[in-house]
Amino acid sequence: MPRIANLTLHEASDEQKVDGVFDVPDHSVLAMLLTFQSLPDKATIGARASALADIARETKAEAAMIGGALWLMAPLESALRSVGINPVYAFSVRESTKDVRQSDGSTMKTQVFRHAGWIWV
């Protein structure tokens, strides 16, 4: 099973961890690199993608789970490949868990997303 670095803002689920994902050590740096407070230019996007790839490389990951801003994903995929790391996207299935009748007569439906595998790109 490959070691997969979590390069998303969200903590890896237990199911993802069983499937090889680990959260990177310094989440605050990861969050800073993934959060944009203003419209980024191409150079900024490229620099952030390279820095994220370096984080994954330093963890000795074989792959990196990515996801988020679509305009960051292609540069991040490229940066990861340039350091020998395969980009992957998590695939989830949506499952309804239960319908709960509310006091006002409405029904609240809850759903969970279950990890179902990886999309290797």
pLDDT, tens only, 39-96: 999 999 999 999 999 999 999 999 999 999 999 999 999 999 999 999 999 999 988 7
pTM of structure: 0.86
Asked whether the beta carbons of 63 and 87 are under 8 A apart, the reply is yes
pLDDT of residue 94: 86
- The backbone torsions φ and ψ at residue 17, rounded to the nearest 5 degrees and listed phi first, read -65, -40
The parent domain of residue 13 ranges over 4-90
The domain tally of the chain equals: 1
117 within a domain of the structure (yes/no): no
CA distances (Å), origin 79, targets 11, 59, 96, 108:
22, 15, 37, 43
Task: Give me the CATH number covering residue 35.
Answer: 3.40.50
**Helix count and strand count (H, E) for the chain:** 4, 5
Is residue 118 one of the residues assigned to a domain?
Answer: no
Q: Is residue 107 part of a domain?
A: no
